[in-house]
Amino acid sequence: MRDRLAQGHLSNLQRASNWDFQALAGAGAQRHDKLGQRPLETSIILDEAHRAAQFLGLRASHAIAFHFAYVYGLLRDNGQLLDDRGGALRDHAARLSRGDVLIAISIAPYTRATVEAAEVAAKRGATILALTDSAVSPLARAARHSLLFHTAGPSFFSTLIGALALAELLVARLAASGGRAVIARLERTDDALREAGAYWDASWTRFPAADGTRGIAQ
Q: Give the model confidence (pLDDT) of 18-73 as tens digits.
A: 555 445 544 455 555 544 433 345 555 666 666 899 999 999 999 999 999 999 99
What pLDDT, on a 0 to 100 scale, did the predictor assign at position 45? 63
Higher pLDDT, 2 or 50: 50
Q: Is-cis flag, bond preceding 154, omega within 30?
A: no
Q: Residue 118: is its pLDDT beyond 60? A: yes
What pLDDT, on a 0 to 100 scale, did the predictor assign at position 126? 94
Higher pLDDT, 151 or 2: 151
Averaged over 153-177, what is the pLDDT?
A: 85
The whole-angstrom separation of Cα 13 and Cα 201 is 24
What percent of the chain stands above pLDDT 70?
A: 72
Q: Residue 88: is its pLDDT beyond 90? A: yes
Q: Residue 166: is its pLDDT beyond 70? A: yes
What pLDDT, on a 0 to 100 scale, did the predictor assign at position 20? 52
Chain mean pLDDT for the chain = 79
pLDDT grade for 16, boundaries at 50, 70 and 90: very low
The whole-angstrom separation of Cα 23 and Cα 29 is 9
CB atoms within 10 A of CB 102: 29
Long-range Cβ contacts of 129-133 (<8 Å, 24+ apart): 129/42, 129/45, 129/46, 129/101, 129/102, 129/103, 129/104, 130/104, 130/105, 130/106, 131/61, 131/64, 131/103, 131/104, 131/105, 131/163, 131/166, 131/167, 132/105, 132/106, 132/107, 133/107, 133/108, 133/158
The whole-angstrom separation of Cα 116 and Cα 104 is 11
pTM for this model (two decimals): 0.79
Strands across the sheet with 79-82, in order?
29-32, 145-149, 127-132, 100-106, 52-57, 79-82
What pLDDT, on a 0 to 100 scale, did the predictor assign at position 49? 60
Could you give all domains of the chain from N- to C-terminal order, each with its CATH number? 23-179 (3.40.50.10490)
Higher pLDDT, 206 or 164: 164
Long-range Cβ contacts of 205-214 (<8 Å, 24+ apart): 207/5, 207/9, 207/183, 209/5, 210/1, 210/4, 210/5, 210/8
What pLDDT, on a 0 to 100 scale, did the predictor assign at position 22? 47
pLDDT grade for 205, boundaries at 50, 70 and 90: confident
What pLDDT, on a 0 to 100 scale, did the predictor assign at position 195? 87
| Euclidean distance between the first and the last CA atom of the chain, given in angstroms as a whole number | 7
Give the tens place of pLDDT for each residue, 127-147.
Answer: 999 999 999 999 999 998 888
